[in-house]
Amino acid sequence: MLKDSLPLYQPPRLNDLKVAPSLEVDKILVFIDTNIPNFCLYYQSIKDSEKENRISDLLIHHFQLCKTEQAGGFFPFDFRKNPTQEHSTKETDIGVFVMTRNSKPLPIIEFEAKRFSESSNNKEYVCGDRGGIERFKRGHHSSHLTICGMFGYVQSRTSDKWITKVNNWICELSLKNTDKTIEWKDKKELLVKKTSFPNIEKLSSLHSRKQSNDNIALWHYFIELR
């Protein structure tokens, strides 16, 4: 039987000094880096909507297909839509879970998704009640995690133009923010470009979380879907 041929996955033991703390998250990010460039063509081939939720559904489906098509179908992580939050009613768009019974099902990395278009509230990538980065900073998303990410669905202009706007909004908040419950630290929180793939820009940023007095690192994927 197929299930008998699949290897059993044992997650790294807690406090195992031989294993990097972010080993599993690093594997997921490598998997995304490898497979996300092909999403653009896949999306265009079956495109039936430009709505954010539908694109996220297709992105998850793409990743699940890639799991099946590679390594004999065995990849001990599962991509899921709208994972529930243990201490928040606000849900991220995509969560990745370890396929094991050894611990309760909590995502080990989560992603928020936002559209960049002429008809959407593009500033919500950064701030506002539905602001992606802001929700991570406030702990409304992923308070149990220190590494997460965001997908930006670029439907107009170019990724570079939206990246510039996002960084300008962060600078603006650092200068004009009057909300004492959150801090924006200017250049320390700007998105920094790391890698370019076909139709994809990958960036990183580091953000302070005032309530928990720590930081959360975010990986950003700007995906050209025009």
Q: Is the pLDDT of residue 15 over 80?
A: no
Q: Sorting pLDDT into bands at 50, 70 and 90, what band is 182?
A: very high
- Give the DSSP H or E segment for 176: helix 159-176
Identify the pLDDT of residue 42.
Answer: 97
Q: Is the pLDDT of residue 85 over 80?
A: no
Q: What tokens appear for 157 in the block?
A: 């202009």
Q: List beta partners, residue 201.
A: 196, 222
The least confident of 35-39, 102-106, 218-222 is: 102-106
Q: Is the pLDDT of residue 166 over 70?
A: yes
Percent of the chain scoring above 90 in pLDDT: 77
β 147-154/214-224 pair status: parallel
Q: Is the pLDDT of residue 10 over 60?
A: no
Sequence-separated (6 or more) residues with CB below 8 Å from residue 161: none
What's the average model confidence in pLDDT over 164-169?
98
